[in-house]
Amino acid sequence: MAKLSGTPPERIIAAARRLFFGQGFERVSTDLLAAEASVSKATLYKYFPSMNAVFRAVIDAEIDVFESGVPAAMATPADFETALVHYGTNLLNFLNQSEIIQFTQLMFEEARAHPDVAREFYAAAYGRTLNDLSQIIQHGLSNGFLVSSLTVDELAEQLLGMWEGFRFIQAHLGLTQTPFEQPQQWSEKCVRTLLRS
């Protein structure tokens, strides 16, 4: 076990990430997590009232990583397209990681037996991604960079569906280790398809 550095919450999140990604949510106890993070159970509960809260913090931290660097200023249609492409490229690079593929597989396996974990995973991962992407798309619609009869949420779902497509499913099934060979090029193609529709 590698020695973790940082504040207690940072150590808890880092240890939880390693444990959740390696074993899934259900197999990680508070005792194990506290020991891995080098904190007491009281300290664990001081910062996170439940394992679901720890789980949510881990997922939020992962999404923060792939959202970083997405252009915030979108003054022109080209800026808007760049922001969408960048967001998609970051997402696809994130989904290309073998540990993310493995973690998602574990979450899907646990989802039926543990609906609360499934809801938390969906809200933290897919729900937040849809919300953030919807905000970018809303900016494009509000400024006339994109015209569509679909709602903002429908457009976000459509773009996410194009980005992930069957490639991420193939990774879940073990048919490929790298679902997105050229993330930026694939993101660009999907964004251009959306903008032309």
In angstroms, the CA 143 to CA 138 distance is: 8
In angstroms, the CA 8 to CA 36 distance is: 11
Tokens of 189: 């193609």
Rg of the chain over CA atoms, in angstroms? 18
- Both 87 and 128 in one domain: the answer is yes
The residue segments making up the domain with residue 126 are: 59-196
Is residue 112 in a domain?
Answer: yes
- Give the pTM: 0.84
Q: What is the DSSP letter of 62?
A: H
pLDDT of residue 2: 53
Is residue 3 in a domain?
Answer: no
Q: Say if residues 134 and 152 touch (Cβ distance below 8 Å).
A: yes
Cα separations (Å) of 56 from 10, 71, 100, 152? 14, 25, 15, 25
pLDDT tens per residue, range 49-100: 999 899 889 988 888 887 777 777 899 999 999 999 999 999 999 999 998 8
- Our measurement of the distance from residue 89's CA atom to the centroid of its chain's CA atoms, rounded to an integer in Å, reads 13
In the chain, how many domains are there?
2
- Which residue is listed with tokens 């779902």? 157
In angstroms, the CA 109 to CA 120 distance is: 14
State what percent of residues in the chain have pLDDT above 70: 97
The residue that leads in pLDDT, 65 or 168, is: 168
Mean pLDDT, all residues of the chain: 90
Neighbours of 134 (CB within 10 A): 18
pLDDT at 1 over 60: no
- Both 66 and 146 in one domain: the answer is yes
Provide the CATH number for the domain around residue 15.
Answer: 1.10.10.60
pLDDT at 3 over 70: no
Q: Which amino acid, one-letter code, is at 43?
A: T
- Both 119 and 33 in one domain: the answer is no
pLDDT tens per residue, range 121-131: 888 888 889 99
In angstroms, the CA 42 to CA 29 distance is: 14
pLDDT tens per residue, range 26-44: 889 999 999 999 999 999 9
